[in-house]
Each structure stands twice: as structure tokens, then as C-alpha cells.
């Protein structure tokens, strides 16, 4: 392997905990856990509309804003100003890394090229990395290929960017469906356990599944397994 490509939301950064912390600070009367889950619940349906052609191409920052507009009235926040809405919608650019992520990526970077392969757009991923100290060699996004995962265009696009056969690339993710799609395109795969991705109220099953070449408890464990 020469390149490790990373899913970001949930795998490298804690979207749920980050949104909960921001909501508790800004709007303490709102159920922050329910708000975070409701916002994320609109994620896959929004991507599916774009993939199906029911909606034209839009970067994830734009989709996140549209999802936010849908849920604000439900949580008593319909009164927010445009500036407040814009600031809140950009919380996805301010997500905190999991505690092991920065050190784990730094170790993996000593041996491999490390890049994002995320549905997040380039501006979002770049600002997130700058704030959280994520040491990417490269930032690749669904925006780079005008397609959202699990479209094969994303995984094949990764191989094209680095001019490598798929077997020399690996996707690292906390989502089995993402990894399965990558394997279908010939990539190697590594699963990372993130049992609290959806918070303590919805603990994920992180049991190993067949097909993944590697299974790690965290990015530091992945680095250890890969000799970094």
C-alpha cells in the first residue's frame, strides 16, 4: 500500500459530540443530542437525491444548510437570524478530532500518503483540518469527482489522482457500507471502531465483519498494525 484514504465524519472527527457541545453553549434550552441526530438523519437522504439526479450538484456545505433549515422550526429555532443560521451551519467545519486522530495520522503519515476521501467539500475539509490540526498530505473530496460516496467514481477517482492501481490504495473508515463500496472498486479496506459516533444513546455495533483487511480500535492501533 502507498496511500491511505480516510473517511472523515465519524472516522476522524466526532461530529455528534462536536455539535452537542456547540448547541449546549449557544442554545442550552435545546435538546442538543436530539438536534445533532436529527440533522445527521437528513444526510443520506440529501446525498441520495443528488446521486439520483433529483437535485443538481451541490457541495456538502450547501446541503448541510438546507438540512438545517428543515429542522430549525422543530427545535424552536425558527427565529434565528441569517448570521446565526450561517454560523450554526458551519459547525461542520469546526468538528473536533477524536482523541487518537491527530497522533494516529501523524504516525501513519511517516510511512504512507494520507488523504481525505470524504463527502465533505474541499473548503469544509480544509478549514476543519486547519482548526483540528489534522496533518493531511492531500485533501480529496466528493467535490473533486462531482459524485458522492458510495459512487464508484469517487474510489476510482482516487486511483486516477495518484496514478496507482487500486490494490495500492486503502480506504480507512468507520462505516461498513463505505468500505464495501471501496472493495468493489478493488481498494483494500481498514475498519476503525467508533462506537460513540452517534453518542452514548445510540452505541454502534463495532464487531469485525468479513472482507475488511484490517480492524482497528482506533487510529493509533491502526498505525501499530501497519508498523508505524
Q: What pLDDT score does 216 carry?
A: 98
* Sheet with 113-118, edge to edge strand ranges: 138-141, 113-118, 3-6, 169-173, 188-192, 214-216
Q: What pLDDT score does 139 carry?
A: 98
Q: What pLDDT score does 110 carry?
A: 98
Q: What pLDDT score does 32 carry?
A: 98
**Burial, 191: exposed, middle or buried (Cβ in 10 Å; 0-12, 13-18, 19+)?**
buried
The three cell numbers of residue 220 are 493509533
E strand or H helix at 6, and its extent? strand 3-6
Domains, in order of start, for the chain: 3-14+96-225 (3.40.50.1000), 15-93 (1.10.150.240)
The three cell numbers of residue 150 are 458510495
Q: What pLDDT score does 58 carry?
A: 96
Q: What pLDDT score does 125 carry?
A: 98
E strand or H helix at 114, and its extent? strand 113-118
Residue 102 to residue 135: CA distance in whole angstroms:
7
Q: What pLDDT score does 56 carry?
A: 92
Q: What pLDDT score does 145 carry?
A: 96
Q: Structure pTM? A: 0.95
**Burial, 201: exposed, middle or buried (Cβ in 10 Å; 0-12, 13-18, 19+)?**
exposed
Per-residue pLDDT of the chain (228 residues; tens, 9 = 90+): 999 999 999 999 999 999 999 999 999 999 999 999 999 999 999 999 999 999 999 999 999 999 999 999 999 999 999 999 999 999 999 999 999 999 999 999 999 999 999 999 999 999 999 999 999 999 999 999 999 999 999 999 999 999 999 999 999 999 999 999 999 999 999 999 999 999 999 999 999 998 999 999 999 999 999 999
Residue 6 to residue 8: CA distance in whole angstroms:
6
Please, are residues 171 and 189 in contact by the beta-carbon 8 Å criterion?
Answer: yes
Amino acid at each position: 500500500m502507498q496511500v491511505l484514504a480516510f473517511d472523515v465524519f465519524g472516522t476522524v472527527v466526532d461530529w455528534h459530540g462536536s455539535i452537542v457541545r456547540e448547541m449546549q453553549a449557544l442554545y442550552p434550552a435545546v435538546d442538543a443530542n436530539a438536534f445533532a441526530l436529527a440533522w445527521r438523519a437528513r444526510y443520506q437522504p440529501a446525498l441520495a437525491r443528488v446521486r439520483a439526479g433529483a437535485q443538481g450538484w451541490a457541495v456538502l456545505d450547501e446541503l448541510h444548510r438546507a438540512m438545517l433549515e428543515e429542522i430549525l422550526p422543530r427545535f424552536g429555532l425558527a427565529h434565528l437570524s441569517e448570521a446565526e443560521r450561517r454560523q450554526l451551519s458551519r459547525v461542520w467545519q469546526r468538528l473536533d478530532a477524536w482523541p487518537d486522530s491527530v497522533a494516529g495520522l501523524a504516525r501513519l503519515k511517516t510511512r504512507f500518503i494520507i488523504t481525505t476521501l470524504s463527502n465533505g467539500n474541499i473548503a469544509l475539509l480544509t478549514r476543519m483540518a486547519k482548526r483540528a490540526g489534522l496533518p493531511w498530505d492531500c485533501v480529496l473530496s466528493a467535490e473533486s469527482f462531482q459524485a458522492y460516496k458510495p459512487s464508484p467514481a469517487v474510489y476510482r477517482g482516487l486511483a486516477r489522482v495518484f496514478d496507482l492501481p487500486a490494490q495500492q490504495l486503502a480506504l480507512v473508515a468507520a462505516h461498513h457500507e463505505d468500505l464495501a463500496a471501496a472493495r468493489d472498486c478493488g481498494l483494500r479496506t481498514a475498519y476503525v471502531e467508533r462506537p460513540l459516533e452517534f453518542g452514548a444513546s445510540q452505541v454502534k455495533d463495532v464487531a469485525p465483519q468479513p472482507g475488511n483487511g484490517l480492524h482497528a480500535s482506533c487510529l493509533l492501533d491502526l498505525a501499530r498494525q501497519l508498523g508505524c
